[in-house]
Structure 1
Amino acid sequence: MKILHETVQTIPRLPFKYYEHDPLTDINVAPHWHQGIELNYLVSGTTLKFVTDGQTNEYRPGDLWTTNRRVVHSASGPTEVDWVEFGLIIDDDFLQTQIPASANWQLTLNGAASSKTHPQAYADVRQQLVTIHDLLTTPTTDLLRLQILSHFYQLLVTLGQTFTVPLTATTVSPNLTLTDTVMTAINQHYAEPIDGNTLAEQFHVSLTTLNQ
């Protein structure tokens, strides 16, 4: 199965990419990844199956969840349902510039379970995200951009304070130079067919080392 690098339209002078499900298409999304952290909100529809690195979670209308950077993920659900879903992909360079510790973030926001554990913070993230969504329906002026940023910054604060844990030793790459080199190559050639064996051969490492 081909894994894609997802490209979403960037909004000028805002540090995130915004996406909204197109009602003229089905909800199924092929396995893909991107550099930044993704925040998703399923507004309406039915049960959505969301797979991250081979693990399946089910989300229902009202659920918020995050996908960590560089994690392969996909979505699937019934084609006859009227889906409403939107979210943000946070620019990783911006995030790490503003919050250097975020390089070590592992996001834990995960639907209903997070809502029960941290109801107020969960509601705050949803409100900030919905407000950003509503503001983006009008042409973006300088003042509106500042207003959007104010909600975006508050969203980051809540995520960072409540829905992150440090990466464990086993999740940190033992070869950061190799990781950066390979990620640069993928970013440069994401539109071309890429697989693990080819990358391992290109960088003279085993497939096991590359996957780690």
Structure 2
Amino acid sequence: MSGTIVDCTTSKTSDAVSLYRRTMGRLAGGVAVILSGTREAPVGMTVNSLVSVSLNPLLLLFCARLHSATAAAIARSEVFSVNILTEGQIRASVHFSGKHADFDTADLQARDEHIWMKDNAGTMLCRVERIHRAGDHDIIIGRVDDVIAGSELPAPLIYHEGQYYSLGSACALPERGDSRALRLSVPDGYEGRP
């Protein structure tokens, strides 16, 4: 592979950070919203750093910027939900990424201390298992108490190189040069990353 090489062990410049972010952005991933707080006052963040950790017990993790409002709310309440987004939930992703697109709290459900989004691809209601500091982020590990998934298999929302995509329905491997991913439109005024 040819391209730019930056030695990140000796170069702590913005060029190294920029190249690192661009390179990591090439890893396509699903999009989820992490929620805590109340139905009337939700606190949340958009992530694509969601990882399944263990099946026994059921554990997952995501990363949150140090001192973020969502990480602080989760540390206080020790509960959160993970909401896996569908292609129709771009506005929610944009809103919880801090860009403040329209989001209606009527789209939330609540039970006990958990809140979660309606009509998504799936939800996990979690309790904090452990929080680890790692550089400028916290790694939040959650124990899954409940899983909520409908019988429908909606098309997921995908994020890749700063753009949202949809897979649509599952398909066979495309012929060479045939792209099956569809580029989705984003709300007016949105520029940036979740």
Q: Structure 1-normalised TM-score?
A: 0.27
More strand per residue: 2
More helix per residue: 1
Q: Which has the higher contact order (CA 8 A, sep 6+)?
A: 2
Q: Structure 2-normalised TM-score?
A: 0.29
